[in-house]
Every structure is written in C-alpha cells, then in structure tokens.
Chain A
Amino acid sequence: DVVLTQTPPTLSATIGQSVSISCRSSQSLLHSNGNTYLHWLLQRPGQSPQLLIYLVSRLESGVPNRFSGSGSGTDFTLKISGVEAEDLGVYYCVQGTHAPYTFGAGTKLELK
C-alpha cells in the first residue's frame, strides 16, 4: 500500500501566520491517465472531515482561497496564507491513485 508521510505532526501558529504542511508519498501518485489523485481534508474538532483541495491544487467550492496546494510525483504541500481561528483542526492528505485509498497520519494545527 502507498504510505503517505505528513510533516509536521503538530503545527502551532498565530492568527495571520502562513504555514505549510508536507505530504510525501512512498511512490509516485501520477496516474496513467495523467491525473494525480492527491487531496487534502480538514477535520475540525468534533466534526466530519471536509474536502479542501482535490487533484493536488484545485480548490473545492466554498473553500477560502488562503488555502492552496502544490506538488507533483511524490512531494506535495498544503499552504495556508494567513491562518484564521476556523482553520484549527487536523489536516489529512489522501491518495486515490493506487488502490487502496490511503491517508496520511494527519497534522494537527493549533493556536500558539
């Protein structure tokens, strides 16, 4: 199975600070059809996960544009340009290129 390694496991930030989360894959996530099925989710405390970014860099409808995704192959990054209080929670990367779906272990974003 594909292993997704997220770093850091915990991130402390102040409001307005920009932060980045890394997700590294044990193998390339480029599918033979040309798509890269790497997505980012946010799970706020006590809530279900929600999709933030899909296909590496595409912003899900309704998600603020302070969130951005980048990367290719095996290295991917989620950036939050100016953390807001509502951004606190656990961020997961997930891949769907290779069966089975696998998730990163999560990065907990908390207030400093």
Chain B
Amino acid sequence: EVQLVESGGGLVQPGRSLKLSCAASGFTFSNYYMAWVRQAPTKGLEWVASITNSGGSTYYRDSVKGRFTISRDNAKSTLYLQMDSLRSEDTATYYCTMFDYWGQGVMVTVSS
C-alpha cells in the first residue's frame, strides 16, 4: 500500500524557518518525480515545488523561489521541504504528492 506521511509542521513566527519531511513507502520512491502542494485555509490547491526522481532538477513557484528548498533522500525514501523566511501568506496545509497519491497533509501556521 502506497503511503506518504508528512511531518514537521507547526506554528512559527514570520521570518523563521521550518523543515517538512515526507516519508514514502509502498512504491519505488526513486522512480518518481515528487512535489509539494499547499492549501491555505478554505482555499484551493497551489503547487509549491517539484523535484525530479534523481533530485537533479528542482522547480519552484515564483513566490517561494529563494526561500524554499525541495530535496530528497532516495536511500531513505524521504522528501523534504526546507522553508526559510516564512511569511504569513505561507500559512497552509502542505501535501506531499506525486499526483497519483497524496499524503494526509501537514499544517504550517506563520504568525507572531
């Protein structure tokens, strides 16, 4: 059974950092492009970042470029999202996904 389990969310002050993790199981993680998608409270879905299966290429939406870093450890079947210089508008539930499957999501709240 495919499972994507996110962790690392929480309440953080503006300007601070947070690192999300996504532990994958039930499939060959190293074969898949992965992505982070977020959903602000009561809003729709918004793509944040993607990474190729090898980790050699990464892609970001403009509003997080230079602040967020997506990475992966294929040996550990884990996806990461390092979030620096957080802003209130980054408040959302963050999903780890390869679009076929989605994690349960982890909440990130940026507030003083």
Complex interface: stretch among A11-19, A24-32, A68-76, A100-108: A100-108
In the complex, what residue of chain B is closest to A50 when comparing beta carbons? B102
**How extensive is the interface on chain A, given as a class?**
20 to 34
For B61, list chain A residues within 8 Å (CB): 100
Q: Is the CB of B100 within 8 A of A96?
A: no
Binary interface encoding of chain B residues 78-112 relative to chain A, with 1 for a CB under 8 A from any of its CBs, else 0: 00000000000000000101011111110000000
Indicate if B24 sits at the interface (CB-CB under 8 A).
no
Q: Is the CB of A49 within 8 A of B95?
A: yes
Indicate if B44 sits at the interface (CB-CB under 8 A).
yes
Total interface residues on B, CB under 8 Å, equals: 18
Indicate if B47 sits at the interface (CB-CB under 8 A).
yes
A-side binding surface: helix, strand, loop or mixed? strand
Binary interface encoding of chain A residues 41-75 relative to chain B, with 1 for a CB under 8 A from any of its CBs, else 0: 10100001111001000001000000000000000
Q: Is the CB of B35 within 8 A of A48?
A: no
Q: Is the CB of B104 within 8 A of A99?
A: no
**Which single member of A41, A90, A102 contacts B47 (CB below 8 Å)?**
A102
Q: Is the CB of A60 within 8 A of B99?
A: no
Q: Is the CB of B44 within 8 A of A105?
A: yes
Q: A53 → chain B, closest Cβ, in Å?
A: 12
Across chains A and B, which 7 residue pairs bring their CB atoms closest together, nearest first? Answer: A101-B47, A48-B102, A103-B45, A106-B44, A49-B102, A105-B44, A51-B100
- Chain A residues with a Cβ under 8 A of chain B: 39, 41, 43, 48-51, 54, 60, 90, 92, 94, 96, 99-106
- Chain B residues with a Cβ under 8 A of chain A: 35, 37, 44-47, 50, 59, 61, 95, 97, 99-105
18 A-B residue pairings within 8 Å (CB atoms): A43-B45, A48-B103, A48-B104, A49-B45, A49-B97, A92-B45, A94-B45, A96-B99, A100-B47, A100-B59, A100-B61, A101-B35, A101-B37, A101-B47, A101-B50, A103-B45, A106-B44, A106-B45
